[in-house]
Amino acid sequence: MKRDKGLLIVLSGPSGVGKGTVCGALRQHDTHIRYSVSATTRQPRKGEIDGVNYFFKSKEEFQHMIENDQLLEWAQYVDNYYGTPRKYVEETIAAGRDVILEIEVQGALQVKKTFPEGVFIFLMPPSLKELRNRIEGRGTETKDLIDSRMTVAKEEIDLMDKYDYVVENDEVEAAVERIKSIVTAENCKKERLIHLYKELVEE
């Protein structure tokens, strides 16, 4: 039975927890889930492609998107801006397809106000020590910036109770399987399907 509305799945968690890696693996497993590309003012990392990993914007371009209500959410994080272009998300959900947002915690809490019916998943590191190791392993940030990210990470973990689910990213494949299980269960919730089955009875 075709649903009249797709799921909005929001995956967020501390910087360095592996949101991008998990999302990439999830897309390989489940080609039905659409991926919403975020906009950011940060510089591309090695191998990242504009329009695929992020829409890389200047601060002036990003400000224009804010002023013209083109973002579903946006947040400033360690001197850079991140946001979700609104149009793609709304059109995908309206077409009955599931869409996943890979965003920062600030942004996720904004989206929850607009889409409380969304599925909010907090991606958790095995430990703070492992989280720091992952950030240091990038080799792209100074010690001061890493310290800032760790301070923010602790504050973000305190917001875990705002989410529907918590998934530990101990191993990528295991985390992906847990998220797939969550999406399957959410798609079977009676609240999302009951009106469709009532229509069958009325026919």
The strands making up 119-124's β-sheet, listed across from edge to edge, are 34-36, 99-102, 8-12, 119-124, 165-168
Which pLDDT score is estimated for 31? 75
Domain boundaries, position 197: 8-202
Residue 48 in domain? yes
Judge contact between 130 and 40, C-beta under 8 A.
Answer: no
Judge contact between 98 and 118, C-beta under 8 A.
Answer: no
Is pLDDT of 108 > 80? yes
Residue 2 in domain? no
Say which residue the tokens 């915690």 belong to: 105
Q: What is the number of structural domains in the chain? A: 1
Tell me the per-residue pLDDT of 140-156, one tens digit each, with 9 for 90 and over. 788 888 888 899 899 99
Residue 50 in domain? yes
> What is the arithmetic mean of pLDDT over 22-49?
89
Residue 109 in domain? yes
Which pLDDT score is estimated for 197? 73
Is pLDDT of 30 > 90? no
Tell me the per-residue pLDDT of 163-193, one tens digit each, with 9 for 90 and over. 999 999 999 999 999 999 999 999 888 887 8
Which pLDDT score is estimated for 127? 92
Residue 3 in domain? no
Residue 89 in domain? yes
**CA–CA distance, 171 with 26 (Å, rounded to integer):** 13
| CATH value at residue 160 | 3.40.50.300
Residue 1 in domain? no
pLDDT band of residue 203 (cuts 50, 70, 90) is low
> What is the arithmetic mean of pLDDT over 97-114?
90
**CA–CA distance, 121 with 84 (Å, rounded to integer):** 17
